[in-house]
Amino acid sequence: MFFIVLVYDKRGRFHTLTPTSLKLGNAKGPKIKSVVKTNAKFSLADSGFDSSVETQMNEKIGSEDELLKTRENERWRERRKKGEKFKGRKNKSNKRKRKKERRKWMEKYLKEQDKNDLEESNLNVNYSEQPLHWKAKLEGLEQRLPGAIIIGSKKCGTRALLKQLSLHSRILTAGREIHFFDRHYNRGLEWYRKQMPLSKPGEITMEKTPGYFITREAPERIYSMMKKFSLETKFIVIVRDPVDRVISDYAQGLAKNEKTKERRKSLEERIFLSSNEKIVDENSYLIRIGLYAKHLKKWLKFFALSQIHFVSGEELINKPWKELEAVQKFLNISVEITKENFWFNKTKKFYCVREKGEAEPNCLGETKGRKHPKIDQETIKVMRNFYSPYNKKFYKMVHRDFGWPEF
């Protein structure tokens, strides 16, 4: 037996899914928000869907037969508008046959759509231009400006933190980095809003763009957005030993160079003014990002320290649930994400997240938790010496000692 399932996702988009696409969908495709209609009585025993889908389906299946019809009619009208004609038989007297043929044609069309949906989700297409389905509107779903932003820092665990937070029932996260306040500010706030996931009133929309923390203009830009819309946006900064951060960032650069076959500069070439003397270049890209105290000073000109929460990147690796508890408290939401949501992947040596009741844990891809290159001990020592006073200043500013090694 073969099934097609109509679902709509967090953004209110429709998807037609088959057993194969749903399996793929678990990893890359849409996350099922609600099952609108199956094209046959839904029986998992012989459907070919895997068991993790079963739980989602059973919870969310609705009895909304008419929605399938609505959607079919919408598609039908769409194609008619485009001038595409239904090529069925034109015998008006045989209405039942015509209806059957039309349904067959529709099923074929939905299968095609299914393929397109999958391709699109893999390409991370922006769907914000698509009109919102009436059911989504009824539920109060809207794209809202963020209630919280992870503003930094690059290579400190920003993706892991956002993914872990997205487990919370009141948090909706944007899938990719938006880069509005650093790169795309000229596109306007309406563009920014349209990059956000759909949320209901009372839910918290979140995005992460680590570039904001080091962008001089970002605090003022965010401040003016908050003032204009009377928002009380909160900020989260995840920080990690700046020396580890440099190495992680450098490792990412190496991996990119491998793809483009560009010449690999040594770390020393990238961070020292002159490699003979080993004097750290404070303005080099790799070094600058880890000067947390300097960046924070610019944010404190616009925001109170109480509006910014700091997460330890090291703790997020070792005991993520502890950091997550503090973040949930900071966001003023119930502590739903607990130790039970984490599963340690012995191969990756990182925790992966698991939604309660779900069998399969969800780990970050291979671009996170890369193998780091071996770095000369002397270079590490010079970097530690360089960062030491900045780290101490930062601990004082945020009233937390992160305990990063000194020499």
Rule CB under 6 A: which residues touch ligand A3P?
154-160, 210, 248, 251, 316-317, 350-351, 364, 368-370
- Distance of closest approach, residue 230 Cβ to ligand A3P, in angstroms: 31
Q: Which is nearer to ligand A3P, 272 or 351 (CB)?
A: 351
- Check if the beta carbon of residue 271 is closer than 8 Å to that of residue 281: yes
Q: Which is nearer to ligand A3P, 232 or 340 (CB)?
A: 340
- Distance of closest approach, residue 383 Cβ to ligand A3P, in angstroms: 15
> What is the rounded distance in angstroms from the CA atom of residue 8 to the CA atom of residue 97?
30
Q: Which is nearer to ligand A3P, 225 or 237 (CB)?
A: 237
> What is the rounded distance in angstroms from the CA atom of residue 351 to the CA atom of residue 362?
9
User: Pairing mode, if any, of strands 204-208 and 171-173?
Assistant: parallel
Q: Which is nearer to ligand A3P, 210 or 290 (CB)?
A: 210
Q: Which is nearer to ligand A3P, 161 or 222 (CB)?
A: 161
- Distance of closest approach, residue 255 Cβ to ligand A3P, in angstroms: 9
> What is the rounded distance in angstroms from the CA atom of residue 252 to the CA atom of residue 372?
9
Q: Which is nearer to ligand A3P, 39 or 345 (CB)?
A: 345
Q: If you ran DSSP here, which 8-state letter would residue 264 be given?
A: P
- Distance of closest approach, residue 372 Cβ to ligand A3P, in angstroms: 6
Q: Which of 291, 207, 211, 303 is nearest to 246 (CA)?
A: 291
How deeply is 159 buried, as exposed, middle or buried, from its count of CB atoms within 10 A (0-12, 13-18, 19+)?
middle
Q: Which is nearer to ligand A3P, 351 or 404 (CB)?
A: 351
Cα angle vertex 60, ends 12, 66, to 5°? 70
- Distance of closest approach, residue 256 Cβ to ligand A3P, in angstroms: 13
- Distance of closest approach, residue 237 Cβ to ligand A3P, in angstroms: 11
Which amino acid, residue 377?
Q
- Distance of closest approach, residue 242 Cβ to ligand A3P, in angstroms: 13
Q: Which is nearer to ligand A3P, 180 or 350 (CB)?
A: 350
357: Cβ contacts below 8 Å, ≥ 6 apart = 55
331 token code pair: 């966001």
> What is the rounded distance in angstroms from the CA atom of residue 153 to the CA atom of residue 166?
19
Q: Which of 336, 169, 367, 153 is nearest to 161 (CA)?
A: 153
- Distance of closest approach, residue 344 Cβ to ligand A3P, in angstroms: 9
User: Pairing mode, if any, of strands 148-152 and 204-208?
Assistant: parallel
Which amino acid, residue 198?
L
- Distance of closest approach, residue 371 Cβ to ligand A3P, in angstroms: 8
Which amino acid, residue 230?
S
Question: In whole angstroms, how large is the CA radius of gyration of the chain?
Answer: 25
Nearest residue (beta carbon) to ligand A3P:
248
Measured CA to CA in angstroms, residue 137 lies from 11, 90, 198, 281, 347 at distances of: 11, 38, 10, 53, 44
Q: Which is nearer to ligand A3P, 25 or 210 (CB)?
A: 210
Q: Which is nearer to ligand A3P, 95 or 349 (CB)?
A: 349
Indicate the helix (H) or strand (E) that contains 142: strand 142-143
- Distance of closest approach, residue 238 Cβ to ligand A3P, in angstroms: 7
Torsion over CA: 53, 55, 59, 61 (sign): positive
